[in-house]
Structure 1
Amino acid sequence: MGEFFAGLPWWVKWIAVPVIALVVFGGLIASVVTFVIGLLFKVLVFVALVGGLVYVVRKFTSSSSSRGDF
């Protein structure tokens, strides 16, 4: 692969080829990034809901057990 780019100027290797790759694979890259960000958002929502559920259950079970002691 090195001899393929050997006679070309530096800007072809470092600017033109990545730009062409972004144009060709841009939709794929965007969909993968969108999927990963959506997955992370869903994981954060899941963690928040489970944390809220644990908080509510502990609050009600501790308050009901303290009422039963009296």
Structure 2
Amino acid sequence: MREIFAGMPWWVKWVAMPVIALVVFGGVIASVVGFVIGLLFKVLVFVALVGGLMYVVRKFMASSSSRSDW
């Protein structure tokens, strides 16, 4: 493999090959990146909802216990 690229100019190795790879595998790369970003977004929404629920429950429990002190 090294012998094949040894005779090529620098622009073939560093410009043409990555461009061809992006054209061929661009859809696959975009779908994988989109899936990962979507999954991270869902995880962040889940964490925010669970944290908000815990905050509301703690506030409710604290206010109900202070009412029972009366």
TM-score strictly above 0.5: yes
The CA deviation at 1:9 is 0.1
The CA deviation at 1:22 is 0.2
- TM-score, normalised to structure 1, is 0.97
- TM-score, normalised to structure 2, is 0.97
Question: How many residue pairs were aligned?
Answer: 70
Structure 1 residues without counterparts, runs of 5 or longer: none
**Two-structure CA RMSD over aligned residues (Å):** 0.6
The CA deviation at 1:4 is 1.4
- Are 2:67 and 1:67 equivalent residues in the alignment? yes
CA distance in structure 1 between the partners assigned to 2:5 and 2:64 by the alignment: 74
Percent of pairs identical after alignment?
83
Hey, what does 2:50 align to over in structure 1?
50
- Are 2:51 and 1:38 equivalent residues in the alignment? no
The CA deviation at 1:30 is 0.3
Per-residue CA deviation, residues 29-57 of structure 1 (Å, 9 max, x unaligned), is: 00000001100110110011001000000
Q: Which amino acid aligns with 1:39?
A: L
Hey, what does 2:17 align to over in structure 1?
17
Moved over 3 A (4+): none
CA distance in structure 2 between the partners assigned to 1:30 and 1:60 by the alignment: 45
